[in-house]
Structures are given as structure tokens and as C-alpha cells.
Structure 1
């Protein structure tokens, strides 16, 4: 897919409802830091954007903490909501479940709760989507205007996973697993019923479904800063991710993504 080119268009008079979902599982502490930064940032913007915190079955204590955090953040950015999954199923499950709460949104966005994608970078992604009217895939890539801070194990896993995605499901994307996506509502609704991955391979399954239906996206380099305390462990999770990729491949060969 082509990289995002500079746009000369203006955002003036662009309309569209945006549903931004932040999935979280037993991670209210990191979300509190990122959430306050993001709420302050969104409060200074003029998007028609609802920010939904979506808990993936973290349990009653964590849900209570999220409720208090939501109430605090809502004082800064009023257009917020909370969604609680009935049970812990995985990131893909809770993101799709949250997006399904607003079936008529013009844009579906998610951003991880750890703050690796800074709020200013998220708004750059939002602007790019609104101006280009294209689905946007942020990619972790160093450029003149962006920098990427990843540990060596994460960098190695990142490169190997890109290769695995190309070889197994024939999807070419410079960063299938970047923890943020911005999808046009019509693009997502076209493939939503074909998606079943509940875990971390959700992103790759989504890209596979889009690619199999010739739905184009734009890739956009972003600044990415790895945060401490992440639950994804490359060495531990690698085999599970490969197994999920193989399952996606089997469904792809069976024509499950073709609309």
C-alpha cells in the first residue's frame, strides 16, 4: 500500500462522527496517565468524536477504578463513555464489541491504553483520515518528523512478524500490529461480519479482510515510544501469534473474508 502523502486540502467543513475506542485490561494505572494527556488534548480539538474506554473483563475492582477515572476525565472531555465486556476475551473482541455500540459512525478508531502513541500523534492520524477520506494505518517508522523507541526484542519481533504476515496471508503492510487504526465506517462495516479473531491478531485479520476485498488504506509514519509495563511479551506470545496467523490463512483460503 502507498505511504501517506502530504495533503494540501483543508479540514474546514469536514463532517463525520468518530468513535475512538481505547481497549484496556487490568491496566488502569497506565491508562490514567495517558488518559489525562489525551483528554486535555482532545478538549482543544474540534472533532465530532466520542471517546469510549472499553474494559475487557478486568474484574470488579478494576472496573471501579475505571469508573472513577472516566468520571474524572469527563470533566475535561465530556464526550466520553464506558463499555464493560462481560468476560475477558481479548483485545480484538472488546474493540469490535465497543465499535458495535455505534453502528452508524463515520469513522472507527482504536488506540492502545499505554500511551505509546502520543496524543499529538493520534490527532495527526485523525486529521490525515478526515482530510484524505481514507482508512489510515499508522506505522512505526523513523522519518525526518517521527522517531521510534523500541527495545531490541520488540524490534526483532516487529520485523519477523511483518515478514510472517507477508508470507502467510500475503498482506503487505509496513506495520500490521501498530496499536492504533483509523477506519472509514463503510470500510469497516463491509468486513465486520467476517472478523472472528479475539486476541492480538485482530489487527492482521482486519488488514487481511480489507486486502481481500480490495479496500485500500494509507500508511502513515508516526512517533512511537514503548512504555514499561506492557502485557505483550514477544518471546512468550510469538507462537500464539503465528498460530493465529495460520488460522487467518485457513479462513482466507476458504474465502471467508470475500464479500
Structure 2
């Protein structure tokens, strides 16, 4: 890939499950969540290869990520840093990192903010591998899970879900929750049709899976809003809405 800058570490050769944490100028939040994730991976004696995928944050951030990688690796050795050459967006860097191990049986990602905790993420991976089906996390209060989000975020969240259903025909309780596990076969079937580089990546992923006749399971997880997000309420929402119409056009769905 022309815009790959570097991959530090060499833990991918034997891995059958790849877990990507996308970051952009996010080393501070990763420092907190990364320690939690490294400890959970080590405690479970996981066979997951963890890739911290930087979306063009610049030399200083990449250097800091390298320091964090060394810290995490003392707890869980199978962690690498992959640095994209420039800032393209979450979707771009996740796909780029997944592409480092094209033949992996399972491909997953979890956001660096820790809103979905490490144990919930690893439970999601284990559930997917047991069922043999792609599995996505959803924010939903149940007897076992709790969701903490403010009213404005709830409105934006459910408004976007409605848009995904009306514009793309995607029926999901939560397209955007930042934790997903895909069968490698499912991803390889649709990867060449995934073109959205930014936050609409999740919606495009599910829309293309729907169009290809691929299904997925949905798993409620604990979700707690964390501070420090760079998502802007209106500018990013508008860009994501525009992306839905682009996706619909590429899929040839009726207007």
C-alpha cells in the first residue's frame, strides 16, 4: 500500500485473529485503555495479535505510541504499532491494518477511548469464534449490561440508526458501536467495495454485508461515554449523512 509508513513489531505471522485499535492523536487515551487491554489479553492467555493503528498523527505521536507499545508488550508481547503515512480516517486505517494479515480467520477492531471495555471486547471475540459468525457490539441496557450516554448523544445515535435503515436498508440496533469482529471470509468478500475512509466505515461495512447476503450477530456490551472525543456533533454528523447517500448510490439502491 502506497501510504503505509511503518509497522513496528513482528507478531502477525502466527496469528489467526487480528485486533486493531485505531488512533489519531490519541496516545493519552490509549495509555489508559491500552494498559487495561494488555492486562486482559495476558490474563486470558489470548492468541490475538493486537495492532495499534495510527492514522497519520505525526512523528511525535508515533514515537509516543512506540513507547506505549514497549510498555504494553511487557505485559502482552503480541502487540505492534502500524503507522499510516497520512491522515485519511478511521475506516482507512482499520482496513489498512487488517490488510497486514490478509488470510486471518478473524478481524476485529475496538476504539481507543475505552467506552467498550477490554473484557467486553474479548468476550465479543470469544463469542464470535464460538458461533463462527461475524459479531458486532451494540449499546443496549440489559440485565447484564449498562449504557451510560447523555441525551444529546442518544438522540444523535438513534437518529443515525434511523437514517441507516431508511437510506441503506441496514437493520441493526447499533451500526456505530466501536467494537466489531468479522469473519475473515466475510471481510475478504466485500473489502474491495469498502471505500469510505472516515466514520461512516461502520455503516458501509454493514451495508455491504447486507448487500452480499452476509449476516452478523449482535451482542449487547457495557458502554460508558469517555471524554476526549474528537467527533464533532454537527460537522461529523453531516459528513456521515452525506456518506450514507454515497454508499446508497454505489450499491444502486432505489432513491
TM-score normalised according to structure 1 size: 0.91
Structure 2 counterparts to residues 16-165 of structure 1, below 5 A: 17-165=16-164
**Structure 1 residue aligned with 2:185:** 186
Equivalent pair of 2:194/2:205 in contact (CA under 8 Å):
yes
**Structure 1 residue aligned with 2:11:** none
Shift of 1:254: 7.1
Shift of 1:51: 0.2
Q: Deviations over 1:99-118 (max 9, x none)?
A: 00001100000000010001
**Structure 2 residue aligned with 1:175:** 174
Matches of 1:230 and 1:152 in 2, distance apart?
16
Matches of 1:161 and 1:36 in 2, distance apart?
32
Matches of 1:122 and 1:138 in 2, distance apart?
8
Structure 2 counterparts to residues 207-226 of structure 1, below 5 A: 207-226=206-225
Shift of 1:137: 1.0
Matches of 2:131 and 2:55 in 1, distance apart?
32
Corresponding pairs, count: 240
Q: Deviations over 1:208-238 (max 9, x none)?
A: 1100011010011110011011111222311
Q: What is the RMSD computed on CA atoms of the aligned residues? A: 1.2
Q: Which runs of 4+ in 1 moved over 6 A?
A: none
Equivalent pair of 2:168/2:253 in contact (CA under 8 Å):
no
**Structure 2 residue aligned with 1:250:** 249
Shift of 1:77: 0.3
Matched, 1:203 2:202: yes
**Structure 1 residue aligned with 2:8:** none
**Structure 2 residue aligned with 1:13:** none
TM-score normalised according to structure 2 size: 0.92
Matches of 2:60 and 2:78 in 1, distance apart?
24
3-state DSSP of counterpart to 2:34: helix
**Structure 1 residue aligned with 2:5:** none
Shift of 1:189: 0.6
3-state DSSP of counterpart to 1:76: coil
Matches of 2:192 and 2:211 in 1, distance apart?
14
Q: Deviations over 1:119-148 (max 9, x none)?
A: 111111011101101100110000000000
Q: Deviations over 1:27-63 (max 9, x none)?
A: 1000000000110010011332100000000011111
3-state DSSP of counterpart to 2:100: coil
3-state DSSP of counterpart to 2:74: helix
Q: Which runs of 5+ in 2 are unaligned?
A: 1-14
3-state DSSP of counterpart to 1:129: helix
